[in-house]
Amino acid sequence: MPVSGWTILCDFDGTISVEDVIDSLLDRFGRPGWEVLEQDWRAGRIGSRECMAGQVDLLQMSRAELDAHLAEVWIDHAFPGFVAKARELSVPIRVVSDGLDYAIHRILARHGLDDLPLAANHLAPATPPKQWQLTSPFQADGCRSGTCKCACVAQARAGGAKTLLIGDGASDFCAADRVDFVFAKHRLIEHCRAAGIPYVPITGFEDALEFLPQLLDGSLFDRPPVPALATSA
């Protein structure tokens, strides 16, 4: 068990990064057809793993173009400070993402954070006529996501640690049901409120920096319930 008794599982796209990386790549390099896959996923007809694998097949870009694009993707300015504080407090952090490992490594490396443990889909060059292919080394039986965040939670809890999830959207809903506490952004706020999951709303890692010590000393659990108005983000 970690010295602090807690482990942090943190989403990447829209949580650490200020935009969704795969969406930005599709907008710039995607061939026709990726929008249909997106609609099928949003309607629940396919899972995120099938959706993303199909969309990656439609990316038309060189590695140089990919790297140049990733160099323009920014992360929350307070995230490096949050990582430093977590390490100071002996709280392990693992990035758990339904996004692309190559992109996450490249982006975090610019900030000296490429050593963070990562669970994500694997992006690799493909044999022509495809340029890129997606595999999902962290998938799980019965889960339609590329990265089963619930399995990541179970792995973290197996050592006896309490788990904190930091996330923002639908890919975090299932895992939020299984952790001990959530720092929630955007759509995840409403999910936590509706499901009665212990959480605090955050706008970014400046808030997370403030709340982390309070989580560890237990005072965060003494906060009054979050009013419905605060979930509009």
Structure confidence by residue, pLDDT tens digits, 85-103: 999 999 999 999 999 999 9
- Confirm if 56 and 66 have CB atoms less than 8 A apart: no
- Confirm if 176 and 184 have CB atoms less than 8 A apart: yes
Task: Output the average pLDDT for the chain.
Answer: 93
Structure confidence by residue, pLDDT tens digits, 11-46: 999 999 999 999 999 999 999 999 999 999 999 999
Backbone angles phi, psi at 111, to 5 degrees: -110, 15
Residues near 228 by Cβ (< 8 Å), separated by ≥ 6?
193
Question: Residue type at 147?
Answer: T
Homologous superfamily (CATH) for 6-232: HAD superfamily/HAD-like (3.40.50.1000)
Averaged pLDDT for residues 194-214: 97
Domain ranges of the chain: 6-232
Report the pLDDT value the prediction gives residue 101, as an integer from 0 to 100: 98
Report the pLDDT value the prediction gives residue 229, as an integer from 0 to 100: 42
Token pair of 146 as six digits: 């590329």
Confidence of residue 222 (pLDDT cuts 50, 70, 90): confident
Q: Which of 163, 189, 193 is nearest to 178 (CA)?
A: 163
Structure confidence by residue, pLDDT tens digits, 112-122: 999 999 999 99
124-133, 135-144, 170-179, 183-192: segment of lowest average pLDDT: 124-133
